[in-house]
Amino acid sequence: MPHFVIDCSENILKINSPENIMQKVYDTAASTDLFDIGDIKVRINPFEFYNIGNTKDDFIHIFANIMEGRTVSQKKNLSERIITELKLMFPNVPIISINIRDFEKATYCNKSMV
């Protein structure tokens, strides 16, 4: 935990490599000191087929799933820092966004917990 899932138009990967994009998100998340660096997970899903307001505009959207317990201010800072870095990396991409969702501690389970 946390998981950062990057959805993007396929063309994004022609502008910069998936490894660079994922590393930027990883490094930015790590720099907030909200997470243990060994726990940060980043994945990327490029889409060939999509419709953005009836256009084929390029886009990047990150679904950030984190364990509950961070303040709104901490989550806002995380969002703004990641978007700032991606905006620098992709100045001509019109849509770059993120949303943060909290995992509920009481219902979260992984392999090591059972």
pLDDT digits (tens, 9 = 90+) for 55-71: 999 999 999 999 999 99
Report how far residue 50's alpha carbon sits from residue 56's, in angstroms, rounded to the nearest whole number. 7
Question: Do residues 55 and 95 make contact, with C-beta atoms less than 8 angstroms apart?
Answer: no
Positions in the chain short of pLDDT 50: none
Report how far residue 92's alpha carbon sits from residue 89's, in angstroms, rounded to the nearest whole number. 9
Question: Do residues 81 and 31 make contact, with C-beta atoms less than 8 angstroms apart?
Answer: yes
Report how far residue 6's alpha carbon sits from residue 47's, in angstroms, rounded to the nearest whole number. 11
In terms of pTM, does the model score above 0.85? yes
Question: Do residues 48 and 1 make contact, with C-beta atoms less than 8 angstroms apart?
Answer: no
